[in-house]
Amino acid sequence: MLSKEDNQLLTQTGAGTPMGDMFRRYWIPALRSEELESDGKPQRVRLLGEDLVAFRDTEGKVGLIDERCPHRGTSLYYGINADCGIRCMYHGWKFDTEGNCTEIPSEPTDGKFRQSIKLKKYPVKEVSGIIWTYMGPEEKMPPFPEFYWMGLPEESKLVERVWQECNYAQAMENDLDFVHAAFLHKAHMEQSVKEGILSSDLGIDPNHPLVKNPPVKQSVQDTNYGKRCIAVGIGTEEENAFMEIHYIFPFYTYPPRFGGEDGMWHAFIPRDDHSTWTWDVQFTHKGTIDVQAQHERRGLDLDENYRKKISMENEYGQDRELQKTGNFTGIRGIANQDHAATETMGTIVDRTRERLGTSDVPIIHMRRLLLTQAKAFRDGKDPMPLDNESLQTLYSDGLYDDNKKTWQEAFPMKEQFEPRKKVGQ
Ligand code: FES
Ligand SMILES: [Fe+2]
């Protein structure tokens, strides 16, 4: 349970809010590289409550700029992207990717007035098929985060983004919830899946340790990137299943996976306080990712704005017959199941009314870290830095081992992820 004030602090991410300004101190995935063509159609992208437009100019450079033209406010999304700039359709003012006004044809002279016009723009970096941005003060820009999957070849990865209709925090809490898989994602019988694929679109096998083991024993460790959440369940007669989730501050996760299964990385970027850009990178450690099998498993069907066609409006396609015979929810697609659980809470869940149990321990730790950091940030402290040496080798990996062993013996944290020692210790 949170106080009303803490729930607001956790969920409000607009400019000028402590959480929103703290989030602006980290690199954010904004859109996929393939969404923009040179001199092609611009894309609208709302991030942290700000309406922005992205375009790729004649030379291939990407601009991420304010959607509103600084003249009288017409949307630049409707503008003309050609000859190294985007031109407003209303009076023809033209802007380059840096936000400079390069032409002002509605004025008799082209001089000081034009030079004084500056459009809000954010720096971008294209890495691993994603256009990333940094929306904070220039002098505070952190090093670019080097996640493990960025080092894998392109054919080993699948990148998706989807508009999730709830606040970022409740979307992310779902990822730190080991136990939900045993219900929400449970298929009633064994599923036939390709090697490395966790589930079918119906859900996860009843015998997979993620499903077989409610309730698991859970622990949470402090690390130099955020939190490592550990769960211990029954594997076989003599072995336990040891699982982990990584929470990377402030809005990235690696959900639990076992050796041999394709990995998954998520980012939960507030679109605004009532919706989230949920990013999925599926990756295989070796070889080529099976794009079709992963798409089917997740079951998302999106329109051109990355909104789901299977949504609350059509009750997520829930089939009550399927619920009796096929899976726990009667909903197809692992991602649809997650979205149905988190969106039906309302876009910002009232955390003053919740009743948390032991299964919610990782969520409690994540919230505490976010709130502590946001409060310290509000008091003038810099937020926690991310350590690229850790990020380069970090991903989730589960294993089976002797059930006489503790998780500390069977599945200890690697030394390099230990929290930084405070000065003087
Ligand atoms: S509103 Fe854009 S040029 Fe006038
Ligand atoms: Fe899930």
pLDDT in tens, 306-364: 999 999 999 999 999 999 999 999 999 999 999 999 999 999 999 999 999 999 999 99
pLDDT beyond 80 at 421 = no
pTM of the model: 0.97
- Looking at residue 422, its pLDDT comes to 55
Q: Each residue of 108-117: pLDDT tens digit?
A: 988 899 999 9
- Looking at residue 74, its pLDDT comes to 98
Region for 83 from its dihedrals, namely left if φ exceeds 0, alpha if ψ lies in -120 to 50, beta otherwise? left
- Looking at residue 111, its pLDDT comes to 85
Q: Quote the CATH superfamily of domain 148-417.
A: Naphthalene 1,2-dioxygenase Alpha Subunit; Chain A, domain 1 (3.90.380.10)
- Looking at residue 141, its pLDDT comes to 98
User: Residue 279 and residue 270: Cα distance in Å, rounded?
Assistant: 11
Q: Each residue of 210-240: pLDDT tens digit?
A: 999 998 899 999 999 999 999 999 999 999 9
- Go through 327-358 and write b for each residue having 16 or more CB atoms within 10 A of its CB, e for each that does not: bbbbbbbbbbbbbbbbbebebbbebeeeeeee
Q: Per CATH, is 27-140 categorized as 2.102.10.10?
A: yes
Structure tokens at 398: 């589960």
For ligand 1, atom 4: residue with the closest CA: 91
Q: Across-strand partners of 121? A: 65
User: Residue 326 and residue 320: Cα distance in Å, rounded?
Assistant: 10
Q: Which residues lie below 8 Å from residue 382, measured CB to CB, with a gap of 6+? A: 25, 140
Q: Each residue of 359-394: pLDDT tens digit?
A: 999 999 999 999 999 999 999 999 999 999 999 999
- Looking at residue 110, its pLDDT comes to 80
Q: Is residue 72 lining ligand 1, measured as CB closer than 6 Å? A: yes
pLDDT beyond 50 at 425 = no
Q: Is residue 371 lining ligand 1, measured as CB closer than 6 Å? A: no
Instruction: Of 114, 40, 33, 31, give the one whose Cα is nearest residue 70.
Output: 114
Q: Are 213 and 234 in contact (CB under 8 A)?
A: yes
Instruction: Of 32, 31, 33, 11, give the one whose Cα is nearest residue 23.
Output: 11
Q: Is residue 86 lining ligand 1, measured as CB closer than 6 Å? A: no
Ligand number with the minimum distance to the CA of 278: 2
Identify whether 250 is preceded by a cis peptide bond (ω within 30 of 0): yes
Q: Which residues lie below 8 Å from residue 121, measured CB to CB, with a gap of 6+? A: 63, 64, 65, 66, 97, 98, 99
User: Residue 134 and residue 132: Cα distance in Å, rounded?
Assistant: 7
Q: Are 172 and 362 in contact (CB under 8 A)?
A: no
Integer-rounded Cα Rg, in Å, for the chain is 23
Q: Is residue 62 lining ligand 1, measured as CB closer than 6 Å? A: no
Domains of the chain: which residue ranges? 27-140, 148-417
What percentage of residues in the chain have a pLDDT greater than 90?
95
- Give residue 179 CA to ligand 2 midpoint distance, Å: 9
- Looking at residue 289, its pLDDT comes to 96
CA dihedral 55, 132, 165, 40 (to 10 degrees): 20
Q: Are 260 and 393 in contact (CB under 8 A)?
A: no
Which ligand 1 atom minimizes the distance to the CA of 73?
1
Average pLDDT over residues 243-253: 98
User: Residue 274 and residue 174: Cα distance in Å, rounded?
Assistant: 16
